[in-house]
């Protein structure tokens, strides 16, 4: 066995299914050749020679997954929040993203983002860069060096954007093709097609991306049914479509053969939901962003009940916080408002449900990721809650809940594919 075989000792948590919380007090989580071999109360005979990293007293969880984040918007987190989506894009996102034409600026900004992501509880992410190929490759290089496993997208935009942040269709497709070829240099950073959203991409560009998807077999990510003004605009731009998702699907960019993450889905109607389910489209729920840019409250509990694939996203900088623990709390709180104000027949999300969304739910996009069941890739975080003292004698589920609500979200150790990053 090589150095990627070892055991961690501590209080182990994971969620095999939505709402199911598995807890193993002071147990052993065994990693063999980068994969989870199992969780055991005592170390079995066959593993007794493995090195044990002792995290006794601490909480051990699967690494968290951020299914939707804009690395290129990190600089203005927490700023410009008094606007709705479309105005916010014009005022904040587009001016900041245009700066990434400068490789020096891009390296500085992406280094900060990568360091922050590295020291967070997130082990996997689907990331938007900008339209700029060199900057996008720099981000992929930085993430790979940090040991993180991410999908990264060079963004496509050939309409309805300022001159400084718009490509021609030909340029966009040629740069995307070259970027897909250049991306072969990486093993942990993987490319993902990223048409920004329908208003930013002509039909011609979408058709070209659909062809590239087939040729390279890469997944894709975009935004879907986020905000009412955006949805109205899409219906005007695409008069032949019955629902927003069809604007992607008509070009082969809506799940099925093309593994797809769609951010938000706040306002998806019955037809769109049926198509997402049939095509296995992943929904990235970004509750904080939905509140900040006044998009609405996504029906996530209903999505879980109807068997949709759902994970959580920070959507920085629509969301101000990179922490997926924070996204878990926001998801619970949003779902309570939805129950109270919109739909009394659908209960709020629970802590075990949002932990599932943050781990196995989003992790499924990456394969067998986000759980400690045997055969899963070994992504783990160790959380120390001793800096949250209380006179109360808390049970393990209570310690998990307090750590999520009250902690700073920073792990004391982090493992990705069996490699300890710190
Ligand atoms: N829709 C198109 N672009 C964006 C973006 O950058 N953030 C969010 N939240 N929605 C978008
Ligand atoms: Fe977004």
- 350 in any annotated domain: yes
CA of 87, nearest ligand number: 1
- Asked if residue 197 has its Cβ within 6 Å of ligand 1, the reply is yes
Q: In what order do the strands lie in the sheet with 260-264?
A: 220-224, 260-264, 282-285, 309-312
Which residues are CB-contacts of 24 (< 8 A; sequence separation ≥ 6)?
11, 12, 13, 39, 41
Residues 264 and 385 in one domain: no
- Across the chain, mean pLDDT equals 97
Smallest Cα–Cα separation from 57: which of 105, 9, 90?
9
Given 320, 351, 366, the domain boundary residue is 366
Is residue 47 within 8 Å of 7, Cβ to Cβ?
A: yes
- Average pLDDT score over residue span 29-55: 98
Residue 4 has pLDDT above 90, yes or no: no
- 313 in any annotated domain: yes
Q: Is residue 61 classed exposed, middle or buried when 0-12, 13-18 and 19+ CB atoms within 10 A define those classes?
A: buried
ipTM confidence score: 0.99
Residues 272 and 395 in one domain: no
Helix, strand or coil for residue 153?
strand
Given 325, 346, 366, the domain boundary residue is 366
Tell me the pLDDT tens digit for each residue of 64-120: 999 999 999 999 999 999 999 999 999 999 999 999 999 999 999 999 999 999 999
Closest residue to atom 8 of ligand 1, CA basis: 318
Residues 113 and 234 in one domain: yes
pTM of the full predicted structure? 0.98
For residue 223, report the distance from its CA to the centre of ligand 1, in Å. Answer: 7
**What is the per-residue pLDDT for 95?**
98
CA distances (Å), 185 to each of 137, 188, 192, 326, in order? 10, 10, 15, 34
Residues 335 and 358 in one domain: yes
Residues 352 and 375 in one domain: no
13: CATH: 2.30.40.10
Tell me the pLDDT tens digit for each residue of 381-410: 999 999 999 999 999 999 999 999 999 999
Is residue 60 within 8 Å of 381, Cβ to Cβ?
A: yes
Q: Which letter, b or e, does each residue of 309-343 get, where b requires 16 or more Cβ atoms within 10 Å of its Cβ? A: bbbbbbbbbbbbbbbbbbbbbbbbbbbeebbeeee
**What is the per-residue pLDDT for 179?**
98
Residues 33 and 121 in one domain: no
Tell me the pLDDT tens digit for each residue of 336-350: 999 999 999 999 999
For residue 307, report the distance from its CA to the centre of ligand 2, in Å. Answer: 23
Q: Say how far apart CA 367 and CA 129 lie, in whole Å.
A: 23
Residues 99 and 205 in one domain: yes
Q: Say how far apart CA 10 and CA 193 lie, in whole Å.
A: 39
Residues 57 and 145 in one domain: no
Residues 17 and 154 in one domain: no
- 171 in any annotated domain: yes
Tell me the pLDDT tens digit for each residue of 216-256: 999 999 999 999 999 999 999 999 999 999 999 999 999 99
Residues 58 and 126 in one domain: no
- Asked if residue 223 has its Cβ within 6 Å of ligand 1, the reply is yes
Residues 208 and 197 in one domain: yes
- Asked if residue 89 has its Cβ within 6 Å of ligand 1, the reply is yes
Given 320, 339, 366, the domain boundary residue is 366
Q: Give the total number of structural domains in the chain.
A: 2
- 1 in any annotated domain: no
- 104 in any annotated domain: yes
Return phi, psi of residue 157, to 5°. -150, 115
Residues 55 and 72 in one domain: no
Tell me the pLDDT tens digit for each residue of 14-39: 999 999 999 999 999 999 999 999 99
**Pair of tokens at residue 373:** 């069941």
Residue range(s) defining the domain that contains residue 386 = 6-63+370-420
């Amino acid at each position: 066995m090589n150095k990627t075989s070892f055991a961690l000792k501590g209080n182990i948590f994971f969620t095999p299914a939505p709402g199911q919380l598995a807890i193993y007090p002071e147990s052993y989580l065994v990693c063999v050749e980068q994969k989870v071999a199992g969780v055991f109360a005592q170390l079995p005979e066959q593993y007794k020679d493995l090195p044990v990293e002792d995290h006794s007293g601490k909480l051990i969880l699967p690494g968290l997954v951020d299914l939707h984040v804009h690395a290129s918007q990190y600089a203005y987190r927490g700023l410009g929040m008094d606007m709705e989506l479309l105005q916010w894009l014009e005022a904040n996102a587009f001016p900041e993203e245009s700066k990434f034409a400068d490789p020096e600026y891009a390296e500085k900004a992406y280094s900060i983002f990568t360091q922050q992501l590295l020291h967070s509880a997130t082990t996997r992410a689907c990331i938007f860069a900008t339209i700029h190929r060199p900057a996008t490759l720099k981000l992929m290089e930085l993430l790979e060096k940090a040991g993180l496993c991410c999908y990264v997208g060079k963004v496509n935009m050939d309409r309805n954007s300022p001159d400084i942040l718009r490509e021609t269709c030909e340029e966009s497709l040629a740069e995307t093709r070259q970027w897909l070829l250049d991306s072969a240099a990486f093993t942990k950073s993987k490319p993902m097609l990223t048409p920004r959203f329908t208003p930013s991409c002509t039909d011609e560009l979408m058709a070209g991306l659909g062809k590239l998807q087939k040729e390279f077999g890469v997944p894709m990510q975009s935004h879907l049914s986020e905000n009412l003004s955006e949805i109205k605009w899409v219906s005007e731009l695409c008069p032949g479509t019955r629902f927003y998702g069809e604007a992607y699907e008509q070009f082969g960019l809506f799940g099925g053969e093309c593994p797809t993450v769609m951010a938000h889905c706040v306002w998806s109607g019955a037809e769109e939901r049926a198509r997402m389910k049939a095509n296995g489209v992943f929904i990235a729920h970004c509750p904080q962003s939905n509140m900040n840019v006044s998009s609405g409250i996504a029906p996530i509990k209903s999505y879980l009940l109807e068997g949709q694939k759902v994970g959580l996203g920070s959507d920085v900088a629509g969301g101000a916080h990179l922490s997926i623990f924070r996204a878990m709390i926001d998801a619970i709180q949003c779902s309570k408002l939805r129950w109270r104000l919109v739909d009394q027949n659908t209960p709020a999300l629970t802590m075990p449900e949002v932990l599932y969304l943050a781990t196995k739910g989003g992790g499924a996009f990456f394969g067998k990721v986000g759980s400690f069941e045997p055969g899963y890739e070994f992504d783990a975080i160790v959380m120390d809650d001793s800096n949250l003292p209380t006179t109360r004698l808390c049970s393990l589920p209570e310690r998990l809940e307090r750590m999520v609500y009250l902690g700073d979200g920073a792990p004391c150790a982090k493992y990705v594919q069996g490699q300890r990053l710190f």
